[in-house]
Amino acid sequence: MKTIHLIAIVLAAASLSALEAKEQPRPNPMIDYPGFLANASVVGKLRQDRRITEAEFVRMAAEPGTIIFDARSDSKFNLLHIKGARHLSLPDVTAAELANVIPDKSSRILIYCNNNFENEPRALPGKMATASLNLYTFNTLYSYGYKNVYELGPLIDIKKSVLTFEGSLSTKR
């Protein structure tokens, strides 16, 4: 009887092991979490020197060849964005789409997101600080080879901003 129980236990364990092996996800060469973390580490260090004030953002934006890039959703962009910003919603980013929006990878790119502005929750709703779109956008651009990226740093009251905005909610600030 003990032998039958022992055989049953061994067979059950073998079956469970085979089932668990079948449930393991297959490797996906299109998803590279260690590579993402490696880029995020590099970008984290780079961002320290690339976060700029509103005044620096305005000055740099006026210089030839500088691109203001907005990666928010289409609907939020259409409501309100910094005048002259080029737009590509982050979920739509591919190498080809980025090349259409920013053809030269050496271009200086200025980024901003919802978390840079307060007092306009319809167009610029705040996100969790650890999920700020600037973090994803900077890392994504870097991953695609765009290394000359600068990020608007401060939280700005949109009603006091010196930036010019456009979109359906714009009052031509």
Is residue 114 a part of any domain in this protein?
yes
Is residue 8 a part of any domain in this protein?
no
Range 78-87 burial, b when 16+ CB lie within 10 A, else e: ebbbbeebeb
Is residue 5 a part of any domain in this protein?
no
pLDDT confidence band for 25 (50 / 70 / 90) = confident
pLDDT, tens only, 134-173: 999 999 999 999 999 999 999 999 999 999 999 999 975 5
pLDDT at 26: 83
Is residue 6 a part of any domain in this protein?
no
pLDDT, tens only, 45-102: 999 999 999 999 999 999 999 999 999 999 999 999 999 999 999 999 999 999 999 9
d(CA 89, CA 19): 40
Q: From 57, 72, 84, select the one nearest 122 (Cα to Cα).
A: 72
- As to burial, measured by CB atoms within 10 angstroms (0-12 exposed, 13-18 middle, 19+ buried), residue 169 is middle
Return the CATH number at 139: 3.40.250.10
Residue whose structure tokens are 């073998």: 14
Number of domains in the chain: 1
Domain that holds residue 156: 32-166
Query: Would the pLDDT of 28 be above 60?
Result: yes
- The model carries a pTM of 0.84
Is residue 80 a part of any domain in this protein?
yes
More confident call, 70 vs 23: 70
Neighbours of 63 (CB within 10 A): 8
Is residue 4 a part of any domain in this protein?
no
pLDDT at 149: 98
Is residue 77 a part of any domain in this protein?
yes
Is residue 147 a part of any domain in this protein?
yes
